[in-house]
Amino acid sequence: MLSLRKADERGAANFGWLDSRHTFSFGHYFDPRHMGFGPLRVINEDKVKPAAGFPTHGHQDMEIISYVLDGALEHKDSIGTGSVIRPGDVQRMTAGSGIRHSEFNQSRADPVHFLQIWILPEKERLQPGYEQKSFAAAAKRGKLCLVGSRDGRDGSVTIHQDVDLYAGLFDGEEMAALPIAPRRLVWVQIARGAVEVNGTRMVAGDGAAIQAEREITFASGDDAEVLVFDMVA
């Protein structure tokens, strides 16, 4: 069963420097029908104006993943990390027992467009941590590339939860299928473009909750970039 969450049904917040769309309840946007899915708690699509960003603030007991689509996102945190996240990079920050960080658009000329994802960890009070890895477009072209996992296998970043996170690029006749084990939950998020997911046409900003399916197929893409979360129920 595929339950579609259309892009234009998401929550919205616009602060001038930030234009954000919330797949699940977040901040001032509250919808009891959309509080998350399994351990997946937040998917925010954020567009930040040049030289603007989120000043230093705190998090606790959350796995936070940043996935940049365009531009460059500068990160600094209280455990000494300083980095720039660009398209192709996957960043995982474990907030654990407590961490403070800031995120700013590194450019003074161009906006940065990224997805911020929050996943509930399997344990509370973990030691705060940071990890960032880059995945070439060729590794995602016409296939699903594992970019995050509980055990960090195949070069993926480590997520402290039973979640496999895949990224894929699909255009034209490119196709892929992902088998789904029984009693697993899957969320598909379309980051850009359009693609058919199990025969349902989805476009940028759309998400879908998928349950009780044996596999997920991707076909007939139009410059599509997708994220797939295969999660514990």
Q: Which tens digit of pLDDT belongs to each residue from 120-161?
A: 999 999 999 999 999 999 999 999 999 999 999 999 999 999
Per-residue confidence (pLDDT) for residue 151, from 0 to 100: 98
This prediction has a pTM of: 0.98
Per-residue confidence (pLDDT) for residue 191, from 0 to 100: 98
The pair of structure tokens assigned to 77 is 């945190």
For the chain, residues classed under CATH 2.60.120.10 are 10-134, 137-232
What distance in Å separates the CA atoms of residue 25 and residue 31, rounded to the nearest whole number? 6
Per-residue confidence (pLDDT) for residue 116, from 0 to 100: 98
What distance in Å separates the CA atoms of residue 182 and residue 54, rounded to the nearest whole number? 40
Band of residue 106 on the pLDDT scale cut at 50, 70, 90: very high
Per-residue confidence (pLDDT) for residue 44, from 0 to 100: 98
Containing 138, the helix (H) or strand (E) segment is helix 137-140
* 137-232: CATH architecture: Sandwich (2.60)
- Mean pLDDT for 173-183 is 97
What distance in Å separates the CA atoms of residue 58 and residue 222, rounded to the nearest whole number? 38
Q: Which tens digit of pLDDT belongs to each residue from 3-41?
A: 999 999 999 999 999 999 999 999 999 999 999 999 999
Per-residue confidence (pLDDT) for residue 85, from 0 to 100: 98
Q: Which tens digit of pLDDT belongs to each residue from 82-97?
A: 999 999 999 999 999 9
Angle at CA 181, nearest 5°, toward 148 and 196?
75
CATH code of the region 10-134: 2.60.120.10
The pair of structure tokens assigned to 106 is 């590194």
What distance in Å separates the CA atoms of residue 46 and residue 132, rounded to the nearest whole number? 19
Q: Identify whether the C-beta of residue 188 lies closer than 8 Å to the C-beta of residue 198.
A: no
Quickly list DSSP for 192-231.
EEEEEETTEEEETT-EEEE-S-SEEEEEEEEEEEEEEEEE
What distance in Å separates the CA atoms of residue 194 and residue 178, rounded to the nearest whole number? 18
Band of residue 107 on the pLDDT scale cut at 50, 70, 90: very high
